[in-house]
């Protein structure tokens, strides 16, 4: 991966990034259990989250076809730790930045990659799940957690911060590539 691309993703709004071999991605069953507890409210609501995104094994296999992972974060500033509006705004921004990074990756390196973002999908007002196929399969990014990845461990493996200080929120995305 060239430096020019990595400089450009910073310009797009990426806070930090790191590249790790796919063998170092911490897939853990516990993460899928946390999804099933539905604390984020996205479980069984979209094709981007369990169970619609596939079984644990299917998700892992899909990732393991690739060689490396670009792990990147965005950081949002909050008024305080109860600033839920700020968290939502930061999530919307993270998804937008992730889409731009994915598009730049595609334009720079081609189609052979797979991207994950944070939380549910958000592309459509109402997801087609489970009644009909996804409307925009090429434009949806399942969540990192939905694929069973323990994000704080992955951030540590990539050498980037999981937490960026008081009154901030940090979200993560992945691009798997060869």
Q: Residue from 17, 42, 46, 150 that binds ligand SF4 (CB under 6 A)?
A: 46
> Collapsing DSSP states into helix, strand and coil, what is residue 158?
helix
3 state SS of 143: strand
User: Contacting ligand SF4 (CB under 6 A), which of 127, 144, 155, 158?
Assistant: 127
- Stretch touching ligand SF4 by CB under 6 A, among 4-12, 59-67, 73-81, 135-143: 135-143
C-alpha closest to that of 71 among 137, 167, 8, 153: 153
CA atoms within 13 A on the CB side of 165: 5
Instruction: Determine, following the binding rule CB under 6 A, whether residue 136 of this chain makes contact with ligand SF4.
Output: yes
Residue 40 lies near ligand SF4 (rule: CB under 6 A): no
* Residue 52: closest CA among 61, 62, 60, 42: 42
Q: Pick the closer one to ligand SF4 by CB: 47 or 72.
A: 47
* Residue among 87, 128, 156, 164 that touches ligand SF4 (CB under 6 A): 128
Closer to ligand SF4 by CB, 134 or 160: give it. Answer: 134
> CB–CB of 138/116 below 8 Å?
no
Rounded CA-CA distance 163/148 in Å is: 20
Q: Which residues bind ligand SF4 (CB under 6 A)?
A: 46-48, 121, 123-124, 127-129, 134-136, 140
């Amino acid at each position: 991966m060239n430096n020019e691309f990595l400089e450009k993703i910073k310009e797009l709004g990426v806070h930090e990034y790191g590249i790790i071999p796919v063998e170092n991605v911490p897939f853990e069953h516990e993460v899928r259990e946390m999804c099933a507890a539905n604390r984020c409210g996205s479980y069984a609501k979209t094709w981007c989250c369990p169970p619609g995104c596939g079984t644990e094994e299917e998700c892992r296999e899909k990732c393991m076809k690739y060689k490396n992972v670009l792990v990147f974060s965005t950081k949002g500033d909050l008024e305080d730790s109860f600033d839920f509006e700020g968290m939502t705004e930061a999530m919307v921004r993270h998804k937008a930045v992730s889409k731009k990074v994915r598009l730049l990756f595609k334009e720079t390196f081609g189609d052979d990659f797979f991207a994950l973002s944070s939380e549910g999908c958000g592309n459509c007002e109402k997801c087609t799940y489970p009644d009909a196929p996804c409307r925009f399969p090429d434009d949806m990014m399942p969540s990192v957690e939905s694929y069973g990845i323990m994000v704080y461990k992955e951030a540590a493996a990539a050498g980037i911060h999981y937490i960026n200080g008081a009154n901030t929120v940090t979200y993560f995305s992945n691009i798997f590539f060869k």
